Structure 1
Amino acid sequence: MCALGGISLWQIGEVYQSAADLADNWLPSIEGLGDVRGAVSNVQRLSLLVILESSPAAMQA
């Protein structure tokens, strides 16, 4: 029974290391990609507004 408990604790440690790797390495990257995606969306939206706008005075505003 002690060996089974030791193996279980070792496996829980492995799961913890994997979760820590996700939190420390993957999540910041995913958040950064979300920021880039938002910036690209803003550029696309503003480009469409410039294309659709017919008066030069409105484009200046």
Structure 2
Amino acid sequence: MKEGLITLSQKHNSEYQEQLYLKMLLHYEMQKSRLVALDSSISKLYLLNLDSLLPIIKPLYSF
């Protein structure tokens, strides 16, 4: 597994949101303009909650 890759069984939405927030903080100083440009997409990812779909989609991505 590559570092930074989130599998369906590893993270729940609240953990995913926290990880995304921390990564944004790390990149804010060096890539502020890029984060601002991607604000809409990042916000959608932050709000997306797939926890309720986990039982349906997990078998599709399990090896």
- State the TM-score, normalizing by the size of structure 1: 0.30
- The structure richer in helix per residue is 1
Larger radius of gyration: 1
- State the TM-score, normalizing by the size of structure 2: 0.29
